[in-house]
């Protein structure tokens, strides 16, 4: 389902040609004719014809629009419109589940109230430093040098493996683009249980004690939040925590003292590519829920004022604002100050607010915003502003921003001198250290990259208390034969900064693509890029960083030298019998627990090479 740039823009504008009447359920046939037939009724070599689509399960078609190869083209469609098109085209009924032989012979899961070894959620600790201690990691520098692939697990039909695994006492819990939640045995990769959520799940799940058992907590890409029994996969409760149609949950939940804290983001920034879409009415929020039953304790919006009409676009469509400032990452907990910290995204429409592109400090008990520190003002941006589109929903000149929002969590660290700092990395390529005890006052700043729409710090830094480690994307595209291709010689780089003052300890230059082809066969947009967008992971003496070129590398935290390198961009034989391959590494970082390393490979977005595999490594004896 890959396509060239001209075909892509044509399909986008065909999709955006009309909005279905909201008074009645959308017609899948009408939407297909209006928005899809221009491509699929005249399909080329990379676009499947309607006849091929009609042989697929409706759920697989919906998956392709929600999180697969048609995701970019389907951005302008509302959720109910996507469902209508999939139902019209596809075969009803569920998709086939995992093969029986993929399941463990013994499926009993036993979890301790306090696990012996774990990586629970986005980070092992509440500070979101993505640092695993020596005892919990179970890997020395010499053992990292000897890491070998132990097993591979394939995600059937996926083009991205973007849900970071959570590991507790020998059990793995992980989501997928199909919305299938897996519980796996960490030593072998066999399946203990599965649960089918209603939409893709890309965040790392969190596990919380619940009586004599445990709850698996996660959100999906429609704004629905779930609690499952960890021992069995049984649904305990679920609820939609944000009613806006375009709401989605990508930042991992954070659990503390019987409550779970969830940041809410939105698809609406991409809905704005449709010139008939009244942009924009979503505003980000943090929601506190009780783990026991999902009851809402509090909800705090990142923008105080509700959106209201602000005029009309050049095509006569209603404009609304303020909007945006979604939360894309996991909240950070500060038990000492009884506070919660979040980083926010950009505004989608004018007027820009003072809480976008900011770090916010909230009262943990009430959700009241105690302070906010904005680092980039006037950043109103949406997909209508993208190069080659420049749609009417893009904010006017003078109101338009650079898209320098935060996509990663703030890290709460204590310097060697004993001072608490909040450290946040931005898409601008800047790293900021704030004082949480002085209402977010800036302590130091440092540039680590050029920055850009897909530049700077993307998914997350790591810190061992001495240094903070920041890798940058700074990916760059060039156009060849009307196709956008990732540049093989721009982007990437890993910098170690002294926590206390932000000075550079060392810099590791990006690794070249070498002889790897710029364009993979049958995947015209999947080039080789040295960009290091994925979240980092640190253990004593080592920093792990994945790259869009498909490599996972271990760098010595002392001097940045590469001590281990594994190329994932190939096919793998899997323990569950699913055809699988690695691709670009983006989004989640690796997880290190009890002598093993677990990582995802494959990211079929933003020009990255598709892939669908979870890999497990252990030191060679």
CA distance 610 to 519: 12
What is the arithmetic mean of pLDDT over 379-399?
A: 87
So what's the pLDDT on residue 520? 53
Q: Is the pLDDT of residue 568 over 50?
A: yes
pLDDT tens by residue, 91-126? 787 777 899 999 999 998 999 988 989 999 999 999
CA distance 50 to 39: 9
So what's the pLDDT on residue 599? 98
What is the arithmetic mean of pLDDT over 587-613?
A: 94
pLDDT tens by residue, 495-517? 999 999 999 999 999 988 766 65
Q: Is the pLDDT of residue 16 over 70?
A: no
So what's the pLDDT on residue 61? 77
CA distance 550 to 115: 32
Q: Is the pLDDT of residue 436 over 60?
A: yes
pLDDT tens by residue, 327-352? 999 999 999 999 999 999 999 999 99
Lowest-confidence range among 254-263, 360-369, 429-438, 476-485?
A: 476-485
What is the helix (H) or strand (E) element at residue 79, kind and residue range? Answer: helix 79-89
Q: How many CB atoms lie within 10 A of CB 77?
A: 26
So what's the pLDDT on residue 333? 98
pLDDT band (50, 70, 90) for residue 29: confident
What is the arithmetic mean of pLDDT over 198-224?
A: 96
Q: Is the pLDDT of residue 81 over 90?
A: no
So what's the pLDDT on residue 67? 62
pLDDT band (50, 70, 90) for residue 44: low
What is the arithmetic mean of pLDDT over 194-209?
A: 96
Q: In whole numbers, what is the pLDDT of the chain averaged over residues?
A: 90
166 in Cβ contact with 146 (< 8 Å): no
Q: How far is CA 156 from the centre of its chain?
A: 19
Percent of the chain residues topping a pLDDT of 90: 73
pLDDT tens by residue, 238-281? 999 999 999 999 999 999 999 999 999 999 999 999 899 999 99
Q: Is 146 left (phi over 0), alpha (psi -120 to 50) or beta?
A: alpha
pLDDT tens by residue, 176-194? 999 999 999 999 999 999 9
Q: How many CB atoms lie within 10 A of CB 226?
A: 24
Q: Is the pLDDT of residue 232 over 90?
A: yes
pLDDT band (50, 70, 90) for residue 168: very high
CA distance 147 to 139: 9
What is the helix (H) or strand (E) element at residue 268, kind and residue range? Answer: helix 268-271
Q: Is the pLDDT of residue 483 over 60?
A: yes
491 in Cβ contact with 529 (< 8 Å): yes
- Torsion sign over Cα 141, 142, 148, 150: negative
Kindly tell me the burial class for residue 21, based on how many C-beta atoms sit within 10 Å of its own C-beta (0-12, 13-18, 19 or more): exposed
pLDDT band (50, 70, 90) for residue 52: low
Q: Is the pLDDT of residue 49 over 90?
A: no
What is the helix (H) or strand (E) element at residue 82, kind and residue range? Answer: helix 79-89
So what's the pLDDT on residue 476? 84
SS3 state of residue 256: strand
Q: What is the DSSP letter of 438?
A: G
pLDDT tens by residue, 523-538? 444 568 999 999 999 9
The string over 539-549, giving b where at least 16 C-beta atoms fall within 10 Å of a residue's C-beta and e elsewhere, is bebbbbbbbbb
**Neighbouring residues of 358: CB distance < 8 A, sequence distance ≥ 6:** 325, 343, 344, 372, 373, 374, 375, 406
So what's the pLDDT on residue 39? 75
3-state secondary structure 569-609: CCEECCCCCCCEECCCCCCCCCEEECCEEEEEECECCCCCC
So what's the pLDDT on residue 68? 62
pLDDT band (50, 70, 90) for residue 88: confident
Q: Give 260's strand partners.
A: 255, 289
So what's the pLDDT on residue 239? 97
Q: Is the pLDDT of residue 54 over 90?
A: no
pLDDT band (50, 70, 90) for residue 6: very low
CA distance 557 to 538: 8
Full DSSP string of 357-402: SEEEEEETTT--EEEEEESS-S-B--GGGSTTT--TTSPPTTTB--
Q: What is the DSSP letter of 204?
A: P
Residue 324: CA count within 13 A, CB half-sphere: 37
Q: What is the DSSP letter of 447?
A: E
So what's the pLDDT on residue 495? 98
So what's the pLDDT on residue 488? 86
Q: Is 2 left (phi over 0), alpha (psi -120 to 50) or beta?
A: beta
């Amino acid at each position: 389902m890959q396509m060239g740039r001209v075909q892509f823009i044509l399909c986008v504008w065909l999709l955006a040609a009309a909005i279905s009447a909201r008074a009645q359920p959308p017609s899948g046939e009408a939407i297909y004719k209006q928005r899809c037939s221009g491509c699929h009724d005249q399909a080329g070599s990379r676009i499947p014809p309607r006849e091929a689509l009609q042989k697929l399960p409706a759920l697989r078609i919906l998956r392709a629009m929600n999180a697969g190869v048609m995701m970019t083209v389907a951005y302008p469609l509302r959720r109910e419109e996507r469902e209508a098109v999939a139902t019209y085209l596809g075969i009803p009924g569920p998709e086939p589940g995992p093969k029986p032989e993929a399941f463990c012979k013994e499926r009993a899961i036993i979890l301790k109230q306090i696990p012996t070894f774990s990586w629970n959620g986005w980070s092992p600790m509440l500070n979101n430093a993505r640092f695993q201690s020596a005892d919990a990691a179970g890997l020395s520098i010499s053992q990292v040098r000897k890491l070998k692939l132990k097993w591979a697990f394939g995600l059937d039909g996926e083009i991205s493996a973007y849900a970071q695994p959570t590991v507790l006492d020998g059990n793995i819990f992980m989501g997928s683009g199909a919305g299938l939640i897996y519980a796996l045995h960490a030593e072998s990769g066999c399946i203990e249980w599965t649960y089918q959520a209603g939409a893709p799940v890309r965040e790392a799940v969190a596990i919380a004690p619940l009586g004599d058992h445990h709850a698996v907590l996660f959100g999906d890409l429609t704004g629905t939040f779930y609690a499952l029994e960890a021992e069995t996969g049984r649904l305990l409760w679920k609820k939609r925590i944000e009613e806006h149609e375009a709401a989605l949950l990508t930042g991992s939940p954070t659990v503390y003292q019987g409550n779970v804290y969830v940041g809410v983001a939105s698809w609406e920034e991409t809905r704005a590519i449709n010139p008939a879409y009244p942009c924009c009415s979503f505003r980000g929020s943090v929601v506190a829920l009780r783990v026991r039953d999902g009851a809402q304790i509090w909800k705090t919006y990142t923008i105080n004022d509700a959106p209201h009409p602000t005029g009309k676009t050049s095509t006569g469509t209603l404009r609304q604002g303020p909007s945006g400032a979604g939360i894309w990452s996991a909240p950070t907990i500060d038990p000492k100050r009884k506070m919660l910290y979040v980083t926010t995204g950009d505004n989608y429409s004018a007027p820009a607010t003072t809480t976008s592109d900011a770090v916010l400090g909230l009262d943990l008990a009430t959700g009241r915003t105690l302070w906010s520190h904005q680092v980039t003002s006037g950043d109103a941006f949406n997909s209508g502003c993208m190069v080659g589109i420049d749609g009417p929903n893009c904010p006017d000149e003078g109101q338009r921003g650079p898209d320098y929002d935060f996509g990663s969590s703030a890290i709460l660290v204590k310097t060697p001198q004993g001072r608490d700092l909040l450290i946040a990395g931005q898409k601008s390529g800047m790293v900021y250290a704030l004082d949480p005890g002085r209402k977010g006052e800036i302590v130091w700043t440092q540039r680590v990259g050029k920055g850009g729409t897909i530049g700077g710090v993307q998914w997350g830094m790591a810190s061992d208390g001495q240094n903070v480690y920041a890798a940058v994307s700074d990916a760059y595209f060039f156009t060849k034969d009307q196709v956008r291709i990732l540049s093989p010689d721009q982007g990437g780089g890993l910098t170690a900064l002294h926590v206390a003052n932000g000075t550079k300890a060392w810099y590791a230059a990006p690794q070249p693509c070498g002889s790897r082809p710029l364009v993979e066969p049958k995947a015209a947009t999947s080039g080789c890029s040295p960009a290091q967008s994925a979240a980092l992971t640190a253990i004593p003496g080592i920093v792990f960083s994945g790259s869009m070129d498909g490599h996972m590398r271990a760098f010595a935290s002392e001097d940045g030298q590469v001590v281990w390198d594994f190329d994932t961009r190939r096919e793998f034989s899997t323990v569950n019998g699913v055809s699988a391959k690695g691709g670009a590494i983006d989004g989640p970082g690796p997880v290190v627990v009890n002598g093993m390393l677990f990582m995802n490979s494959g990211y079929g977005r933003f020009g990255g090479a598709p892939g669908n595999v979870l890999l497990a490594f252990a030191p060679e004896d």
